[in-house]
Amino acid sequence: MPYSAEINRAKPTAFFFLIDQSGSMDDPWGLDGAKRKCDAVADAINRLLSTLVLRCAKGEDVRDYFQVGVLGYGGAVRTGFGGVLQGRQFIPISEVADHPLRVEQRTRKEEDGAGGLIERTIRFPVWFEANANGSTPMTAAIEEAHQAVRAWCELYPLSYPPAVINISDGEPTDGRPLSAAERLRSIGTNDGKVLFFNIHISGSNKRSVEFPDSQVGLPDEFAQMLFEMSSVLPPRLIAEARREGFGASEGSRGFAFNADLRSLIQFLDIGTRTAELR
């Protein structure tokens, strides 16, 4: 049965994120426009990295069940981690946990449970910085992910297959990435093919579409292309998506169109769920 390999330290799995850092990510997100898109995406990725670290945390030590890579594309393709981790493709999660760029103090207004609001500072580790300029070389990014993930799969042939997650808000400027995406989806481990997810985030307030199972209802050619690029969800993830309240069915693809921040975070969470961890 594919997508069922046990994950342990000898058989880790990997996550690879492709993040659009083109100029359009500088626009405000949503109607209130409080946040730039690139800031929101950076927050979501930092939060997800925290989630992944916590899934492996056993007290002070973080067990290396995962390896993580981040690639940004805006003008050119470059690795997304900074500091000590810069320039490396797949980084064991324990090293990720040890080397955030910084731990920020963020202030939040929250309800105090008695009808009032209180302000609290919360420590928030940051690995990935927001960035927005240049064109959208998505095809080149997918090509590079393909190279990296293929090398990884050769190293870990028995592992739960890696997931590649692409977050973008616009059309690629370097040609159609369909064939690159197909090459990426064709590689895999003994346990199954690579899972390729695509998230399109929008500036508009149109209705969002998550985990669609056909192209019907997708507004334009670009959405249809992203749909075609995405992997069909394995049964376990369909069940997970349903549990989170998404209307996923057999044949649903790992694709979200016009996602808002909430569904972006949920989508990332579902996309990185794997066979059970101990």
Partner 1 sequence: MPLQQNLRTIDSDNSAATFGPASYSAAPPAYPHRSWPDAVAFREAVQHPEVTFSDPALKRAEVSLDRRGLPVAYSGRFAIVFRLNGEGEQKWAARCFTSGTEEEERRARYFLIARYMEELGDFAVPFRYLDQGIFVNGEWFPVLTMPWVSAPPMGRFVEKNLDKPEALRRLCGTLSALLGKLEETGISHGDWQHDNLLVAEGGTSVTLVDYDGVYVPEFAGRLSPEAGHPNYQHPQRGAEDFGPGQDRFSCLVIQAALLALSHDPSLWSRFSDGESLLFKRSDLAAPSASPLFYALRELAERSKDPVLADTLACLEDACYSAVGSTLPPVVPATEIVAPQTAMATPPSAAPAALTPLAATPPWYATSLSGKKWWQEGEVTLSSASGHTAYRVTAPPKEVFAYIERLTHPEVLTEENKNLWQARVIVPLIVSLTVLSLFWILRKAHFFPFYIFFWLFNLGNIGYAKWPRRKIYDELSAEIKKMQRLIEERKQRLSNRRAALGMSGTLQDFVADRLRKKSLQNTMSPPYNASLDTLHLLRAAGIDNALQLLNRSAVPGVPSHDMASLTRWVQTLEMEAQSEYRRLGGSPQAMTAEMSRLQDEISEFERHVAQLSREKEAFPNCSFGAYCRRLIGRPEPGTVSGRP
Helix boundaries (H) for 37-125: 37-55, 93-98
Q: Which is nearer to partner 1, 54 or 151 (CB)?
A: 54
Rounded to whole angstroms, the Cα distance separating 6 from 176 reads 36
* Residue choice 33, 34, 54, 215 for contact with partner 1 (CB under 8 A): 54
* Residue choice 34, 83, 84, 112 for contact with partner 1 (CB under 8 A): 112
Residue 202 interacts with partner 1 (CB under 8 A)? no
Contact 115, 153 (CB under 8 A): no
Q: Minimum CB separation from partner 1 for residue 59, in Å?
A: 5
Q: Kindly report the CA angle at 139 between 193 and 231, in degrees rounded to 5?
A: 25
Rounded to whole angstroms, the Cα distance separating 168 from 197 reads 11
Binding residues for partner 1, total number by CB under 8 A: 40
Rounded to whole angstroms, the Cα distance separating 206 from 198 reads 18
Q: Which is nearer to partner 1, 100 or 137 (CB)?
A: 100
Q: Minimum CB separation from partner 1 for residue 272, in Å?
A: 12
Rounded to whole angstroms, the Cα distance separating 47 from 265 reads 8
Residue 84 interacts with partner 1 (CB under 8 A)? no
Rg (C-alpha) for the chain, rounded Å, is 18
**Which 244-273 positions form the footprint of partner 1 (CB under 8 A)?**
245, 269
Residue 57 interacts with partner 1 (CB under 8 A)? yes
Residue 113 interacts with partner 1 (CB under 8 A)? yes
**Which 125-144 positions form the footprint of partner 1 (CB under 8 A)?**
125
> Residue 238: which H helix or E strand, with range?
helix 235-243
* Residue choice 31, 32, 60, 207 for contact with partner 1 (CB under 8 A): 60
**Which 157-176 positions form the footprint of partner 1 (CB under 8 A)?**
157-158
Residue 242 interacts with partner 1 (CB under 8 A)? no
Contact 73, 21 (CB under 8 A): yes
